[in-house]
Amino acid sequence: MTDVQSDTGVLAGEERMLIDGELQHTATDAKFDVVHPASEEVVGQATDGTTADMDRAVAAARRAFDTTEWSRDVAFRYHCLTQLQEALTRNKERLRRILVTEVGCPISVTGSQIEDPIAEVGHWANHGKDFAYLVDTGVHPTQLGPARRKIHYDAVGVVGAITPWNVPLYLNIAETVPALMAGNTVVLKPAQLTPWSGSELGRIVAEETDIPAGVFNVVVSNANEVGAALAADPRVDMITFTGSTATGRAILAAGAATVKKTLLELGGKSAHIVLDDADLGAALPMAAMMACVMSGQSCILPSRILLPRSRYDEGLEILKASMEAFPVGDPWDPGKMQGPQISETQRQKVLGLIASGVAAGATVVTGGGVPEQLPTGYYVAPTLLSDVDPDARIAQEEIFGPVLTVTGYDGDDEAIAIANNSIYGLSGEVSSVDVDRALGVAQRMRTGNVTINGKSHFGITSPFGGTKQSGLGRRNGAEGFLEYLESKTIGLPE
Q: Please, what is the average pLDDT of the chain? A: 96
Q: Is the confidence at residue 106, as pLDDT, over 80?
A: yes
Dist CA 237 CA 20 (whole Å):
18
Percentage, residues of the chain above pLDDT 70: 98
Residue among 27, 33, 30, 72 at smallest CA distance from 48: 30
Q: Is the confidence at residue 236, as pLDDT, over 50?
A: yes
* Pairwise pLDDT comparison (214 vs 144), residue with the higher score: 214
Return the SS3 of 116: helix
Dist CA 85 CA 238 (whole Å):
25
C-alpha R_g of the chain: 23
Instruction: Give the residue-averaged pLDDT of 226-249.
Output: 96
Q: Is the confidence at residue 484, as pLDDT, over 60?
A: yes
The residues annotated as belonging to the active site are 265
Dist CA 377 CA 216 (whole Å):
35
The residue type found at 168 is P
Other Cβ atoms less than 10 A from the Cβ of 492: the count is 9
**Residues sharing a CB contact under 8 Å with residue 370, sequence separation 6 or more, in sequence order:** 347, 351, 379, 380, 381
Q: Is the confidence at residue 22, as pLDDT, over 70?
A: yes
Dist CA 121 CA 479 (whole Å):
17
Q: Is the confidence at residue 7, as pLDDT, over 80?
A: no
Dist CA 183 CA 481 (whole Å):
11
Task: Show contacts of 249-258: CB within 8 Å, 24+ apart.
Answer: 251/162, 254/228, 255/231, 257/232, 258/234
Dist CA 220 CA 18 (whole Å):
9
Helices (H), 175-223: 177-181, 196-208
User: H or E stretch including 251?
Assistant: helix 245-256
Q: What phi and psi, each to the nearest 5 degrees, are found at residue 162?
A: -120, 120
Dist CA 478 CA 487 (whole Å):
14
Dist CA 171 CA 75 (whole Å):
25
Other Cβ atoms less than 10 A from the Cβ of 94: the count is 15
Q: Is the confidence at residue 4, as pLDDT, over 80?
A: no
Q: What phi and psi, each to the nearest 5 degrees, are found at residue 200?
A: -65, -40
Q: Is the confidence at residue 420, as pLDDT, over 80?
A: yes
The pLDDT of residue 390 is 98
- Count, residues in the chain: 494
pLDDT band at 90 (very low <50, low <70, confident <90, very high): very high
Give all domains of the chain, ordered by start, each with its CATH number.
17-266+471-492 (3.40.605.10), 271-452 (3.40.309.10)
* Burial category of 326 from C-beta neighbours within 10 Å (exposed 0-12, middle 13-18, buried 19 and up): buried
pLDDT digits (tens, 9 = 90+) for 317-346: 999 999 999 999 999 999 999 999 999 999
Dist CA 315 CA 317 (whole Å):
5
Return the SS3 of 3: coil
